[in-house]
Chain A
Amino acid sequence: MNSLTASRTLAVVDYGSGNLRSVWQAASHAALDTEWKVVLTNDAKVIAQAQRLILPGQGAMADCMQELHASGLLETVLQAAQTVPLFGVCVGMQMLLDHSEEGDIDALGLIAGQVKRFELAGRRQADGSRYKIPQMGWNRVNRPQSHAEHPMWAGIADGSWYYFVHSYYADLADPAHCAGETEYGARFASAIARDNLFATQFHPEKSADQGIALYRNFLSWNP
Chain B
Amino acid sequence: MLAKRIIPCLDVTGGRVVKGVNFVELRDAGDPVEIAARYNEQGADELTFLDITATSDGRDLILPIVEAVASQVFIPLTVGGGVRTVADVRRLLNAGADKTSFNSAAIANPDVINEASGKYGSQCIVVAIDAKRRSAEAEQVLNAQGQPVGPGWNVFSHGGRKDTGLDALQWAQEMARRGAGEILLTSMDKDGTKSGFDLALTRAVSDAVPVPVIASGGVGTLQHMADGITEGGADAVLAASIFHFGTFTVAQTKQYMAERGISVRL
Residues in chain A within 8 A of chain B (CB atoms)? 18-19, 21-22, 25-26, 29, 58-60, 121, 125-130, 132-140, 161, 163-167, 183-184, 205-208, 211-212
Contact = CB atoms under 8 A, between A and B. Distances in A.
Contacts of A161: 3, 265
A206 B211 contact: no
B210 A139 contact: no
Contacts of B207: 130
B98 A137 contact: no
B40 interface: yes
Contact of B1 (A59, A125, A132): A125
Given A22-B98, A134-B123, A139 B75 contact: no
Contacts of B5: 137-138
A127 B230 contact: yes
A132 B262 contact: no
Contacts of B235: 129, 132, 136-137
Contact of B74 (A26, A139, A167): A26
Interface string B252-266: 000000000111010
Interface residues of B, number: 39
A59 B121 contact: yes
B2 A139 contact: yes
B210 A132 contact: yes
Q: Would you call the interface of chain A mostly helix, strand, loop, or mixed?
A: mixed
A205 B96 CA distance: 11
B157 interface: no
B94 interface: yes
Contact of A59 (B40, B123, B182): B123
A134 B211 contact: yes
Given A127-B262, A161-B265, A206-B74, A137 B2 contact: yes
Contacts of A21: 70, 93-94, 96
Contacts of B120: 18, 59
Contacts of A25: 70-71, 74, 96
A139 B1 contact: yes
Contacts of B181: 134, 136, 165
Contacts of A136: 123, 181-182, 211-212, 235
